[in-house]
Amino acid sequence: MTMDIIKNSDVPEMLDALLELRDGEWWDRFYGDRERGVPFFRNIPDASLAALCRSGRVPLGAALDVGCGNGRNTLFLAKQGFDATGIDISAEAIRWAQASAAELPVPPRFLCLPLSDLRAAPGSFTLINDSGCLHHIKPHRRPDYLARLAELLRPDGYLHLTCFNEEGGANITDLDVYRLCSMKGGLGFSEEKLRAVLSPWFEVVSLATMEEQTGTDYFSQPYLWTALLQKRPTSQP
């Protein structure tokens, strides 16, 4: 990386270098111990995703699970009849997901790569699921990330999102991220901020705090937002 700004692309790369590196190797270490007491290590889907599928609002078709981790939501979507693909930058997570999918009659696809490297045509997906990625996206990379999600969706496609609220993540501004040179483990969004960052690309169908459900076969935690979003007819910032 250059230490000087020569061209526009040097700016985001320099900002990347200010912040802690959570690359594939970092997440490999995270997923390496499958016995850790991490709530989302259980092979259960998000409660809100399950409710969405029960509602029948989203027609069956191609679905993309971004940052799929151990594949719990991807596997659920495949079982519901979606042509499901899960992607993650952690090879360890993808190996876990593939092992869990081995016995399914029609297993989903799992790919170890970032969203930016996914080879898929615009409008490829009816549904995209982001369960825990957005709050780890660096603020200067966030517009490109959301624009890519919108590009991959069909004109009437949906994004199902779960991310930290202010209780679950760091309650700091985007400017603070660069002042502190840290994402503090993941950003917490206020409702106002979340609506603002999503609005150039998506219309908010529903947005609520997850209601914790104990003793069920669904993942649900009160420190998360859950949102259903629909691609805007003209998804431009």
Q: Give domain limits for the chain.
A: 47-231
Residues in the chain, pLDDT under 70: 1-2, 215, 235-237
CB 19 within 8 A of CB 181: yes
Task: Quote the tokens at residue 85.
Answer: 């693909």
Please give the Cα distance from 71 to 115 (Å, whole number).
16
pLDDT at 211: 86
The residue among 77, 228, 73, 82 whose CA lies nearest residue 160 is 228
CB 114 within 8 A of CB 141: no
**Mean pLDDT of all residues belonging to the chain:** 94
| Size of the chain, expressed as the number of residues it contains | 237
Burial class (CB in 10 A: 0-12, 13-18, 19+), 159: buried
Q: What are phi and psi of 114, to 5 degrees?
A: -80, 165
Q: Residue 138 carries which side chain, given as an amino acid letter?
A: K
Please give the Cα distance from 192 to 104 (Å, whole number).
41
Please give the Cα distance from 130 to 63 (Å, whole number).
11
pLDDT at 1: 53
Pick the CATH number of 47-231 from 3.20.20.70, 3.60.9.10, 3.40.50.150, 3.40.50.1580: 3.40.50.150
